[in-house]
Structure formats: C-alpha cells, structure tokens
Structure 1
Amino acid sequence: MEPFVLGTKYDKIAQWWHDQHVESSYGVNQFQRAVKFARCGGKALDVGCGSGGRFIRILESNGFSVTGLDVSKEMIKLASVKHPEHNFFHADICSWETKEKFDLIVAWDSIFHLPLVMQKPVVTKLCQLLAEGGILIYTFGNAEGEHTDQWHDDTFYYSSIGINENLQVLINNGLSVLHLELDQYPENHVYTIATKP
C-alpha cells in the first residue's frame, strides 16, 4: 500500500485516534527506556507522529526540539495546533529528505505500514539520519512477510522483514543494538533500541 493511500485512511479517523491516544500510556515505558539512553536537549524525529501526544510530551520534558512526519494530513493538522513550537510535515519517510541529523529517532507503529520492498531502505535511512551517539527506537513484526487487517471498516496493510533482517540492517549501518523485545507477546510486535556509536 502506498504511504499516502494509508494517510487517507488515517485522515478518516484522525480525531478519534487523537481522543483515544492523547492520554494513552501505550508504548510509554518502552519509549522512556530509549530516552534514558539519549542525550537530552537535542533534536528528535518522530516518524508517524500522528496527532502529537504522549511521545512528544516526553520529548519536550527532556528538552528535545521535535520534527514530526506523518502521511495523514489531518493528523499533522492536529499535531501542529497542539504543538506549534515544533515542526510537523505531511510527508512520506520513503521520499522525505533533510540535511539534519537527529539525536533521537522514533518510529513507533508506523513504518510497519510501508511496502515490504521499502523496509530495508527506510530502516537504512533512519540509521543515516542519526547523529553520532544518537538513539533509534522503532517497531516491527517478528516474522518476515506482509498481510492486511480490517480495522474501522477499512483495510490496513502491514509488512516486516523480521527480526534477523532488521538486526542485520542496523549492524550493517554501524549501529549497536541496546535492546530488543517482543513486548506484546504472544502478539508479533517487536521494538528495538539501537545507537550509533
């Protein structure tokens, strides 16, 4: 599924999503684990930032300036209103370009929506966007493959290159893996934290 097609699906549920997640604790403990490894007060990139909620609050409280990307223009509108002091872009990480380097990058439950053929290139891009000493946290499925699920009367696409291939991409790009966990077992949800030494 093309990213901006996905964006139109999230456009339809943007306000509902915001209301459900604005005070959610989902992923917070995992994200705080990553932040503890990071140099506070730097630049952070949130890929698939949604309407800007719990993760951005954590980043703010640790002194980060935030750049947020999302393929849903409605999500970006909500995030921009809620956090006017940060920079938000209606953009696809597959094609988005910047000369900036980031001290922390998070892609929580976002890049697993990308086409399977874009998984390695995008993880590679995230590695390249890290500053030295930077921290990357992202989620993916534990097994290689792609599938669709029905949710909110619509079809959503998911893909993954699996645990071993994700680790190999990180290692090939010079990162060291600090943590990996199937945090919702028996669900196939994995998150990993890595650093660029």
Structure 2
Amino acid sequence: MSHVHLAKNIIQIYQKFGRDWSKLRGNHLYEKKWLNRFLDVLPASATVLDLGCGSGNPIAAYLIENGCQVTGVDRSEVMLEMARESFPEQTWINADIRHFHAEQKFDGILAWDSFFHLTPDDQHEMFAQFSAHAKLGAALMFTSGPSHGEAIGEMFGEALYHASLNAEEYRTLLTQYGFDVVKMVAEDPECTGHTVWLAKKMNHIP
C-alpha cells in the first residue's frame, strides 16, 4: 500500500477506532507544560481553533478549564460525538483540517498530534490555513516529527501514517507566513518525546 493511500486512510482509522483510542489515550495530561506555554501567549477568554481536536479530552478540556472558547475541527464524526457530549457549549465541526474555512480569526491555533498525519505537501499548504485563521498576536502550536521523512506506526492493527519536514523548512514556512518561533523542542523528554513548535503571529501575511 502506498504512503499516499495510507495518509488518506487516517480519517477512516480514527472513525473506526475513535472511542477505543480515546479510552487508550486516557486523561493524563502529559502535554500540560506545553499547553501552559500556549496559554501564556493567549489573552484572557481566548478563542482557540483546535485542528484535529478528536474527542476534546484531555487537551481541549484543559483549554476550556482555563477560560478558552474552543472551536474544534475533526473529520471523525465518532470523535466529535464524544466532544459534543462532553462540551456541548463549545463548537465542534466535521471538516477536513486542510480545507476548513471560517470567517472568524482566532487568538490561538492548535494542531496537536494531527498535523503530523498529513503528507509533506499538505503540511506545506497548512501554513496558509494557519495564517488565514490567526489574529495578529495569535499563538500557534503544533507537533511534528524531528526530521524530514515519512514513518508508518500502528494503531489497533492498522498502519498509521506520519510525516515531517525538517526543522529548517518549518522555520522558513513560519517566517513566510508571519510567525515568529517562541519555543521549539525536538523529541521533548518531558512530553513523551514529542517534537513541539510554539509560534506567535507577528505580521499580517495574506
């Protein structure tokens, strides 16, 4: 099976195993240190666009607890059902994060453990998405791989596609779309080995 096909299969996997994955993931917030850094860049009562929000637990839940108004976007209706059950006062939208469009601009944009399921070409295109939905001064946080390449993981017996650009490519794209890097850690040992980018929108770029 080609990598392109595996990338397209991501949505079906999370639709099929959404509830099982959420149980396996649990509510332990190993991302807390990074979420606090994200919150530190945000204003009070911030609006946050969570791209690939899943069930909303535990990440969106933590943002909501800290006063954020969350708009979550995910292509898995199963995951969104869980989000709506848990947080009916927030906004949950079934859409492909690559093609989602809102008139609203947000104080923060998050793509945690979702962005890295996209192909390298789609990742390039996502920076226009980030920019289009970011207010001036907005925080952007996403997870990537540590270096350029594609990798195939596994979830419940299904092949799970991941890809990454190299760090210099990400820095170039962020600059191109008006973001300054606030903090980046590759394979953070304090966050289960995640490679995390936190940036701030400093210039209006179309």
Code of the aligned partner of 2:103: K
Identical counterparts, % of pairs: 28
Would you say 1:106 and 2:113 are equivalent positions?
A: no
Tell me how far 1:22 sits from its aligned partner. Answer: 4.1
Cα RMSD for the two superposed structures = 1.8
Q: Secondary structure at the match of 1:26?
A: coil
Partners of 2:102 and 2:173 lie apart in 1 by 21
Partner of residue 86, structure 1 = 90
Deviations 1:26-58 (A, max 9, x none): 212111111112112121111111111122222
Distance in 2 (alpha carbons) for counterparts of 1:24 and 1:67: 22
Q: How many residues align?
A: 196
1:1-197 mapped onto 2 (5 Å cutoff): 1=4, 5-185=9-189, 189-197=194-202
Provide, for residues 100-133 of structure 1, a one-character-per-residue CA deviation record: whole Å limited to 9, x for no partner. 1010111101011012211111123112311011
Find the residue that maps to 2:188 and give its secondary structure. Answer: coil
1:106 touches 1:138 (CA, 8 Å); kept in 2? Answer: yes
Structure 2: stretches of 5+ with no match in the other structure: none
Matched residues in 2 for 1:177 and 1:11: separation?
33
TM-superposition CA deviations, 1:49-80 (whole Å, max 9, x none): 11111222222123221100112111011111
Deviations 1:127-180 (A, max 9, x none): 231101110010101211222223210011111112110111111111111100
Task: Give the conservation status (yes or no) of the 8 Å contact 2:146–2:187.
Answer: no
Q: Secondary structure at the match of 1:93?
A: coil
Q: In structure 2, give the amino acid aligned to 1:196.
A: K
Alignment gaps of 5+ in structure 1? none
2: CA distance, partners of 1:188 / 1:54: 18
Give the TM-score normalised by structure 1: 0.92
Aligned-partner Cα distance in 2 for 1:196–1:47 = 17
1:92 partner amino acid:
D
Rate the CA distance shift 1:4–1:78 in 2: closer, same or farther, 3 A.
farther
